Structure 1
Amino acid sequence: MLFSFFKKKSKKEPKVYENITPLTVDVHSHLLPGIDDGAETIEDSLEMLSKFAQYGYRKMILTPHIMMDFYQNTPEIIMKQLDLLREAALKKGIDIELEAAAEYYLDEGLIEKLENEEPLLTFGNRYLLFEMSYMNPSKWLDKAVFMMQSQGYKPVLAHPERYTYLSRNYSELLELKEKGVHLQVNTLSLMGYYSKVSQNIAEKLIDDRVVSFIGSDCHKLKHADRLQEAQALRYYNKALSLNLLNNSL
């Protein structure tokens, strides 16, 4: 059966997690305006930033897509939009620190960048956020992880709970973690926003204590609006009881 690997929740598991530190740094969002499938305008960006500030975030690491066939963003494009948004947020009085990296899609374009040792956009201590096809395994995964690590990057797999084929091969996620790949779960996955399957995988990853980051993956205002609801969930708070790296950034 699809979820035969899920262990039953212990009846002794506490329902309330006390003495946890709120999340104040988001490591995955698409708030830079007009360069991917996230915010379309600067007004959209500011409205979402205001929500994050209200929720207690002090820093946002903005990670627009870089994808060979769809979003051919460059560091120059991304940093230009970051400067524009920083200026607009300052004028608006939104008290939140803004940085930018990228969410790289694992395609030939990323492999070529790694082979040519092009400088890649990272956050914190050289954390490199990447994603893969949701439907099919990537033939470049092992090679890409090896090259990232060989060049001093710390690979971070975005939303591992959302890859359909890995829902049937959960052990592969644990193997990636053992190889040094950090796992970043989406906040909204914990409320079943994408699917029940994704929610179950996300919860299992938290149960197994292999999650390094929680990220909003916020694209639209509707995502930002749901974050406060997700923050009340037991599994969100259980995730915060882990040794997450967000607030260290």
Structure 2
Amino acid sequence: MIDIHSHVLHGLDDGPASLEQSLELARLAVQEGISTIVATPHHRKGSYCNPAQTVETAVSLFQEQLLRHQIPLTICSGQEIHTHPQWLEDFYGNQLLTLNGSSYILIEFPSSKLPERVEEILHELSIRNLTAVIAHPERNKEIAEQPDKLLKLVEYGALAQVTSHSITGYFGPQVRSVALELCRRNLVHFIASDAHDAVRRPFHLQRAYGIVNEKLGGDYVKYYQHNAESLLNDRSFEIWRPVPKVRKSLFFTQLPSFFRRNRSL
């Protein structure tokens, strides 16, 4: 498996505090069947500032440690870029990283609302031949309350990545329900771990795929895994058509339960 969003590098953000903790997390990844991880430390979120050169150096040093400890895991460079007013300055100053040098770039919204002029940000990225991958939209309050706002961003050209822990229920039943609903409506294009440590927030990628397989079917699992591989190799891939929200009519809700397909999660 490929994990396109993780905080596996130590000492850069709220991920592992030490090299040993990073190595422990890497061993867990291998045990789970993950072969490649894109390291995406926070950039411009609060006090976390990890420009391109810092991340690339950390990835190189950590890859050396993985080889030394005989951990068969490949680490690629990336960032989780918090939307901020100076992002264009960072871009022109070569401070931003795409995911594994591809045309896909991971961006993070505030948890409470969408950033102002978000369409403008997506446009600025698109004219630079970059595709925005929105990190964990299911944990954004505005999107959770109005999923059609994510639909508009996807129609504008953005992609979305749901966190494995959202699907497994770590963030609570409401976030889990939103995550699965976004998946069902084809508004999600990747599942990634957003792993931070080996105890509280490990990968749980295999477990999340299992839940998706159970709730939505194997085609969704294949779709997400294929997309992750395509991203890693900077290839385009088919984007499933988003499904509009269907409002049940009064007639439908009054049908006997055995005539209705159970869509509960």
TM tier, shorter chain?
A: 0.7 to 0.9
1:231 deviation in Å?
4.4
1:230 deviation in Å?
3.5
| Paired position in structure 1 for 2:255 | none
Asked if 1:123 corresponds to 2:99, the answer is yes
Structure 1 contact 61–98 (Cα < 8 Å) conserved: yes
1:36 deviation in Å?
0.6
Answer 1 or 2: higher relative contact order, Cα 8 Å, separation at least 6: 1
Structure 1 contact 66–103 (Cα < 8 Å) conserved: yes
Structure 2 contact 41–78 (Cα < 8 Å) conserved: yes
Larger deviation, residues 42-51 vs 220-229: 220-229
From 61, 65, 68, the equivalent of 1:91 is 68
| Paired position in structure 2 for 1:179 | 156
From 57, 62, 69, the equivalent of 1:80 is 57
> How many residues are paired up?
225
Structure 1: which 4+ aligned runs deviate by more than 6 Å? none
CA distance in 1, matches of 2:149, 2:203: 33
In the alignment, residue 210 of structure 2 is paired with which amino acid? A
Name the SS for the 1:35 alignment partner.
coil
Percent identity, please: 27
1:197 deviation in Å?
2.1
1:151 deviation in Å?
0.8
In the alignment, residue 121 of structure 1 is paired with which amino acid? L
Name the SS for the 1:104 alignment partner.
strand
Asked if 1:224 corresponds to 2:202, the answer is yes
1:144 deviation in Å?
1.0
TM-score (norm 2): 0.79
Please list every run of 5 or more consecutive structure 1 residues that lacks an aligned counterpart in the other structure: 1-23
Larger Rg: 2
Asked if 1:245 corresponds to 2:227, the answer is yes
User: Where do residues 154-193 of structure 1 align in structure 2 (5 Å cutoff)?
Assistant: 154-193=131-170
Aligned-residue RMSD, C-alpha:
1.9
1:142 deviation in Å?
1.5
| Paired position in structure 1 for 2:252 | none
CA distance in 2, matches of 1:119, 1:153: 15
CA distance in 1, matches of 2:9, 2:63: 10
Please list every run of 5 or more consecutive structure 2 residues that lacks an aligned counterpart in the other structure: 233-265
